[in-house]
Amino acid sequence: MTRPDELVFDPALIRRFDVSGPRYTSYPTADRFVEAFDAEALKQWLRKRSVGGVARPLSLYFHIPFCNTICYYCGCNKIITKDHGRSAKYLKYLAKEIALQAACLEGSREVTQLHLGGGTPTFLSHDEMRGLMASVREHFTLKPGGEYSIEVDPRKVDFDTVALLAELGFNRMSLGVQDFEPEVQQAVNRIQSFEETKLVLDAARATGFRSVSIDLIYGLPKQNVTSFDRTLDKVIELAPDRISLYSYAHLPATFKPQRRIDAALLPNPDGKLQILKLAIRRLTEAGYVYIGMDHFARPDDELAVAQRQGRLHRNFQGYSTQSECDLLAFGVSAIASIGPVYAQNHKIIDDYYDALDRDELPVLRGIELSADDVLRRAVIQGLMCHFELSMESIEIAHLIRFEDYFAAELAELREMADAGLIEIADGWITVKPAGRLLVRVIAMVFDRNLRADRERARYSKVI
């Protein structure tokens, strides 16, 4: 008999329901943001945080766009350079943005979560990293015991760098690996040995990091079941606390570096499915819990604990244990989430600099959520984080009658219920083990924008 928390891999169901769709790091998704939401709009919402005398704790995100070399698969907003003059200039502007946002805030500036992403945050020199964190602490209070994480490229990091990160307060890191096979690494221009990766992971444990995650990608050129099995051997030997297993989306028209990848070398759809099936089996046999989407964690990791306790949340960095935070975002292309609004910074670095030169918050676009958006966000979050949804809890929180409000959606879900992906009974929508890998497809049913606009070419495949 299948356990309620088990994951079932059904190739026929995946082929049937595997469509293109959003990853739902936000709802509405970032492609729905509008430029009518500007710097002044963000400023007003920053000031409104403490209305009524209560302000939610803060989560901070910093985008560091610089990388020494280019990885061909990458779709991130990045700048390829070895010139630290460029990062020094960027950090000066980042410090100005920190000060501008902090000046708009009313009430507490207590931070319970911080994340440095990129690009490659460890591109920064030791002095640059110290300077950035000094700017943060000048304007915000980092709460003891908070979750402070950073993305690390093991190819450019030694023990001293890891020790510095620990000294600065970081206690979580994610290590980019993608694949350990030399042929695959050459095909995507990311040469990285097992030994240098192990050095960084061991250093993190020796210096007190609470959690270390490894990022993998399936569907890369020259990958196959046999080769990826060898990569999984090495990952399981390293025994990270969390593993992210991302599906490679080949979108060379959107991401120019991907044009250097020979599409003929990519595994075919069936081969890609077999790699995913292998990875799920190996990781679950090794004791990892499937959190959702593309995340696995050890049962005692904070992410798995948060899911069991109903506290799991999803934001622009993926799954998170901090559900009640306002997310402030700094740096080029970074996205903030404050109350019922999202705001994204300029994506082009010169536009970002120009706005700050005018003493303006560098906002490109954003959106203020309607009551319907807030409702649908809660439904999608519930499904994505917990694989179940209480209709009654949604009704109480949003003053609706679920079956009436979502009549069209419930009708559309019947096909998925008949296929065994979900169960709708006793006031609950429950994602069954065979539907967990397809939770994005289930969530898409509640996306009002997709219901009105079935053009999904802008999105990658779910699997």
CB 246 within 8 A of CB 196: no
pTM of the model: 0.92
Q: How far apart are CA 276 and CA 266, in angstroms?
A: 14
Q: What distance lies between CA 76 and its chain's CA centroid? A: 12
Q: Does 178 appear as a known binding residue? A: yes
The bridge status of strand 295-297 relative to strand 289-292 is antiparallel
Q: Does 74 appear as a known binding residue? A: yes
The single-letter code of the amino acid at 364 is L
Note the pLDDT of residue 53: 58
Q: Does 319 appear as a known binding residue? A: no
321 CB-near residues (< 8 Å, 6+ apart): 147, 302, 303, 305, 306, 311, 312, 313
Q: How far apart are CA 446 and CA 337, in angstroms?
A: 20
Note the pLDDT of residue 448: 92
Residues facing residue 211 across a β-bridge: 172
The secondary structure of residue 411, as a DSSP letter, is H
Q: Does 120 appear as a known binding residue? A: yes
The secondary structure of residue 460, as a DSSP letter, is P
Helix or strand (DSSP H, E) at 395: helix 391-398
Q: Does 151 appear as a known binding residue? A: yes
CB 172 within 8 A of CB 210: yes
φ, ψ dihedrals at 446, nearest 5°: -90, 5
Q: How far apart are CA 402 and CA 63, in angstroms?
A: 39
Q: How far apart are CA 303 and CA 322, in angstroms?
A: 10
Q: How far apart are CA 335 and CA 328, in angstroms?
A: 8
Domains along the chain with CATH numbers: 1-28+370-463 (1.10.10.920), 32-328 (3.80.30.20)
Note the pLDDT of residue 457: 47
The bridge status of strand 289-292 relative to strand 211-218 is unpaired
Q: Does 72 appear as a known binding residue? A: no
DSSP letters for 104-122: H--S--EEEEEEEEES-GG
Maximum separation of any 2 CA atoms in the chain, in Å: 64
Considering just the CA atoms, what is the radius of gyration of the chain in Å? 22
Q: Does 90 appear as a known binding residue? A: no
Q: Does 97 appear as a known binding residue? A: no
Q: How far apart are CA 161 and CA 156, in angstroms?
A: 9
Helices and strands in the chain: count of H runs, count of E runs: 17, 19
CA distances from 235 to 6, 9, 38 (A): 22, 21, 44
Note the pLDDT of residue 82: 93
189 CB-near residues (< 8 Å, 6+ apart): 69, 70, 71, 72, 260
Q: Does 249 appear as a known binding residue? A: yes
| Per-run averaged pLDDT (10 residues), the chain, 463 residues | 61 86 86 95 90 78 95 92 95 98 88 94 97 97 94 95 98 96 97 97 97 96 97 98 94 92 94 92 94 90 88 79 86 94 97 98 97 95 92 96 97 96 96 92 93 59 68
Helix or strand (DSSP H, E) at 394: helix 391-398
Note the pLDDT of residue 52: 59
Give the Cβ contact number of residue 319 at 10 Å: 22
CA distances from 90 to 65, 86, 135, 168, 321 (A): 9, 6, 13, 20, 30
Q: Does 219 appear as a known binding residue? A: no
Q: Which residues of 404-414 are buried (b: 16+ CB within 10 A; e: fewer)?
A: ebbeebbeebe
